[in-house]
Amino acid sequence: MMKAHDLVSMNQAKDAAGADHFRSQQHIRKLWTMPFVLAIVAVVALGVLSLLIGAYNVRGQPDGINMIFITRIPRTAALMLTGAAMSMSGLVMQLITQNRLVEPTTTGTIEWSGLGLLCVYLIFPAPSLALRMAGAILFSFTGTMIFFLLLRRVKLRSSLIVPIMGMMLGAVISAISTFIGLVFNMTQNIETWFVGSFAPVQIGRYEYLWLIVLIAVLIFLYADRLTLAGLGEDIATNLGVNYNRIVLLGTGLISFGVGVVAAVIGNLPFLGLIVPNIVSMYRGDDLRSNLPWVCLLGMGILTLCDIISRTIIKPFEVPVSLILGVMGSVVFIVILLKQRRLK
Amino acid sequence: MRELASPHPGSLEVTFHPQHRSATAFPSKEEERRYWLLLVTFIALGVLASYGLLMYNNPVPVDSPSFLPVVRRRMTALVAMLIAAVCQSLSTVTFQTITHNRLITPSLLGFEALYATIHTSTMFFFGVGTFISYSGVESFIFQVVMMVLLSLILYGWLLSGKYGNLQLMLLVGIIIGTGLRSVSSFMRRLLAPSEFDILQARLFASVNHSDASFFPLAIPIVCVAAFLLFARSKNLNVISLGKDIATSLGVNHQHSLLFTLTLVSLLMAVSTALVGPLTFYGFLVATLSYQATRTYDHRYLFPMALAIGFLMITGAYFLMYHVFSAQGVVSVIIELFGGIAFIMVVLRKGTL
């Protein structure tokens, strides 16, 4: 511990300086500003673009209008909902852990929900979507709780070690999944699941994603309390918040969002990390006024990535998680390096 | 710190007793005796397991002239295990020392992602013909050089200078690994199924697929790197005290760090190119060697790690092949146990 002493103080100083830096920037409380309206327009434009792009020529064919209702609208809606869900869960997770580098990919939550899906496939021969979802939600809740409890129990030397440990824990869980998969001959299920793609989304297959609206409403309602919980247990308790209950609620909401997305779409790496970081770089750390921005940016980025994934090797498409993985890792590294300059 | 963490109240008493004080690496004579006993036992068991791997279910007797040709395939696997054990155990112990963290392993730096990317992009950009002809010694050299080069760029860039930070480097390494994995799996999506099949066989490297033609090259590299690490044991002992103390004791911290990390990445690169990715095997070996060696001295830690690493991999293969007849899952099982050990250590340790 002594060896890491300089590291600790260094990092604390860095964090404090970073926080000051962020806080000193402009504080816009008003939501309906010009940039926000522009952002909405941009996201709507992306949505319209997403409706128009695809292998099937909807304008030339007589049944084109049906096609729009069967796949294009569901796909665009799914993109919007998923983008909002993943970026909001990242934001809430970062608040609860007081660590900017935490999100479902870097805490092992995704791997846990994968394990949950696998277990459901094992227990039930042909599970329905609701069953798969329940398994994914249950396991990601357990996994996230375990990680949070671990974080509260152990002493941290540096904020950077949290994502490292989370990813190692994720690797442990995926080793378990691989083992189970090998024993029961189901490695292929894991493999196909692990790349998130919006290609199979069509009417009748994505409706559970609308549950995300419920999560969003709940997060908006509890935004202030979650912000207080983000100040730490002592301060939150002092300010009259039942800390444990709020953390439990936050974790429940995150796991619900991640579980639904995992069961319907698959793994979407880094979205929950880059979106809240970009937003708080410009707007500071108030959850309630940031939430609309986080949702919007998440929708925008995911839709953009999906459009890229659909057009890059036309008329085929690549899973969007690959595009996200490449772009997300670049943005993540830029964020990391930028943080180190802010020292 | 070690004494405080040690669960042996008996050894504590002995340590503080004036008559038993000594300048050796071990707190007491019993500990030293225990160390040698364990080391000899592990080596003996390792040799026994490798003898079993060679001889068990083998109809040809050792003195027969056809013995060597017959066991050649088993020999290849055994040598690959030995190389993997040396690479993984030495590099993990060293890496944990220089990062001052006994929970992380050098495989975090994304070697296997780079390995997959090199192979996939060869197939993707140059086609099947090049891919098949691109094997043997040159490709091995190329892979190792690429992996070492990337890690050197990473270390040099993130460790030196005003903002040098070890953990930041680790995190960037992990993220680059994730990004590379996405890139290579993106390219794999675009391959024709026949190309994909050929590639797939190459990507799932294991002890049994390892190519004996790499040995004349891999063995000298591993020997030199291992020798250099052994020779630097005392330097590592000083580095493990922390940057400030090491500097005031006259060690050029930055320089040693870069040099040692280069050796680590060399070992990891050879191991990855030879037997494929192993994440928690090194962690398991290192953790067990700390338990078996009650000293911080790397002159004692390294041999123990080697013995445990070799015993673990040969023992696991022997048990899985001949007792449970579950071939093909050996590495998965080692990884699984390593992962479980990892969780237990994190929970017990209380510090990240």
Least confident of A39-48, B35-44, B156-165, B182-191: B156-165
Distance CA A210, CA A204 (A): 12
Least confident of A70-74, B58-62, B227-231: B58-62
Q: Which residue has the higher pLDDT, B88 or A180?
A: B88
Query: Is the peptide bond prior to B9 cis by the omega test (within 30 degrees of 0)?
Result: no
Instruction: Summarize pLDDT for A126-175 with one digit per residue, the tens.
Output: 888 888 888 888 998 888 888 888 887 777 767 778 888 888 888 888 88
pLDDT band at residue B19 using 50, 70 and 90 as cut-offs: low
Tell me, yes or no, whether A282 lies in a domain. yes
Residue holding tokens 């990813």? A167
Specify the pLDDT at position B132.
Answer: 72
Tell me, yes or no, whether A132 lies in a domain. yes
Domain boundaries, position A262: 33-194+215-341
- Average pLDDT of chain A is 80
Name the phi and psi angles at A31, rounded to 5: -80, -45
Tell me, yes or no, whether B17 lies in a domain. no
pLDDT band at residue B162 using 50, 70 and 90 as cut-offs: low
Does A112 touch chain B if contact means CB atoms closer than 8 Å?
no
Identify whether the C-beta of residue B258 lies closer than 8 Å to the C-beta of residue B156: yes
Q: For residue A66, is pLDDT > 70?
A: yes
Instruction: Summarize pLDDT for B20-69 with one digit per residue, the tens.
Output: 555 677 778 888 888 899 999 999 999 988 888 887 777 777 677 777 77
Specify the pLDDT at position B207.
Answer: 65
Q: For residue A343, is pLDDT > 90?
A: no
Q: With a CB-CB cutoff of 8 Å, which residues 160-179 of chain B face chain A?
A: 163, 165, 167-168, 170-172, 174-176, 178-179
pLDDT band at residue B76 using 50, 70 and 90 as cut-offs: confident
Query: What percentage of chain B has pLDDT greater than the value 90?
Result: 11
pLDDT band at residue B89 using 50, 70 and 90 as cut-offs: very high
Amino acid B165 reads N
Give how far B351 is from chain A: nearest CA, Å: 5
Q: For residue B208, is pLDDT > 70?
A: no
Residue of A2, A110, A164 to mutate for B, most B C-beta atoms under 10 A: A164
Does A129 touch chain B if contact means CB atoms closer than 8 Å?
no
Record the tokens describing residue A159, joined without a space: 């904020």
Nearest Cβ partner for A172 among B101, B165, B343 = B343
Split into its structural domains, chain B has a count of 1
pLDDT band at residue B341 using 50, 70 and 90 as cut-offs: confident
Indicate the angle between helix axes B29-55 and B298-318, nearest 10 degrees. Answer: 30
Reported in sequence order, the residue ranges of A179-283 that DSSP labels E, i.e. its strands, are: none
Split into its structural domains, chain A has a count of 1
Specify the pLDDT at position B92.
Answer: 92
Q: Which residue has the higher pLDDT, A71 or A31?
A: A71
CATH code of the domain covering residue A123: 1.10.3470.10
Q: Which residue has the higher pLDDT, A102 or B351?
A: A102
Nearest Cβ partner for A155 among B178, B279, B351 = B351
Distance CA B101, CA B109 (A): 15
Mean pLDDT of A192-211: 78
- ipTM here: 0.73
Tell me, yes or no, whether A83 lies in a domain. yes
Q: Which helix (H) or strand (E) holds A334?
A: helix A320-341
A43-79: b or e for each residue (b if 16 or more CB lie within 10 Å)?
Answer: beebbeebeeebeeebeeeeeeeebbeebbbbbbbbb
For residue A155, the SS3 value is strand
Distance CA B289, CA A15 (A): 36
Mean pLDDT of B264-292: 85
pLDDT band at residue B1 using 50, 70 and 90 as cut-offs: very low
Distance CA B193, CA B172 (A): 33
Q: For residue B13, is pLDDT > 50?
A: no
CB–CB contact B104 A341 (8 Å): no
Q: Which residue has the higher pLDDT, A16 or B223?
A: B223
Does A17 touch chain B if contact means CB atoms closer than 8 Å?
no
Instruction: Summarize pLDDT for A238-297 with one digit per residue, the tens.
Output: 888 888 888 889 888 888 888 888 888 888 888 888 899 888 888 877 777 888 899 999
pLDDT band at residue B188 using 50, 70 and 90 as cut-offs: confident
pLDDT band at residue B93 using 50, 70 and 90 as cut-offs: very high
Identify whether the C-beta of residue A79 lies closer than 8 Å to the C-beta of residue A50: yes
Distance CA A88, CA A93 (A): 8
* CA–CA distances in Å: residue B12 to residues A1, B4, B8, B21: 21, 8, 7, 12
Identify whether the C-beta of residue A79 lies closer than 8 Å to the C-beta of residue A85: no
Specify the pLDDT at position B316.
Answer: 87
Identify whether the C-beta of residue A160 lies closer than 8 Å to the C-beta of residue A227: no
Mean pLDDT of B194-216: 71
Does B103 touch chain A if contact means CB atoms closer than 8 Å?
yes
Mean pLDDT of B300-309: 91
Q: For residue A334, is pLDDT > 80?
A: yes
Dihedral, CA of residue A85, residue A90, residue A93 and residue A94, to nearest 10: -150
CATH code of the domain covering residue B314: 1.10.3470.10
Specify the pLDDT at position B308.
Answer: 93
Region of B276 on the Ramachandran plot (φ > 0 left; ψ -120 to 50 alpha; else beta): left
Domain boundaries, position B185: 48-54+72-349
Q: What angle do CA B191, B330, B187 make, to 5 degrees?
A: 15
- Average pLDDT of chain B is 79
Question: What is the value of pTM for the model shown?
Answer: 0.76
Collect all residues with Cβ–Cβ distance below 8 Å to B83 and sequence separation of at least 6.
B215, B218, B219, B222, B270, B271, B274, B275
Record the tokens describing residue B36, joined without a space: 């040698």
Nearest Cβ partner for A156 among B165, B347, B352 = B352
Q: For residue B291, is pLDDT > 90?
A: no
Identify whether the C-beta of residue A301 lies closer than 8 Å to the C-beta of residue A272: no
Instruction: Report the candidate in B132, B121, B235, B129 with the shortest Cα–Cα distance to residue B188.
Output: B121
Identify whether the C-beta of residue A196 lies closer than 8 Å to the C-beta of residue B350: no
Q: Which residue has the higher pLDDT, B132 or A259?
A: A259
Specify the pLDDT at position B3.
Answer: 40
Highest mean pLDDT among A125-134, B253-262, B306-315: B306-315
Nearest residue of chain A to residue B343 (CA atoms): A169
B104 contacts in chain A (CB < 8 Å): 164, 168
Distance CA B251, CA B231 (A): 15
A178 contacts in chain B (CB < 8 Å): 332, 335
* CA–CA distances in Å: residue B147 to residues A61, B74, B140, B156, B342: 52, 28, 11, 14, 26
Region of B233 on the Ramachandran plot (φ > 0 left; ψ -120 to 50 alpha; else beta): alpha
pLDDT band at residue B204 using 50, 70 and 90 as cut-offs: low
Specify the pLDDT at position A262.
Answer: 83
Tell me, yes or no, whether B2 lies in a domain. no
Does B47 touch chain A if contact means CB atoms closer than 8 Å?
no
Specify the pLDDT at position A34.
Answer: 80
Mean pLDDT of B265-279: 82
Mean pLDDT of B222-228: 92
Q: For residue B227, is pLDDT > 90?
A: yes
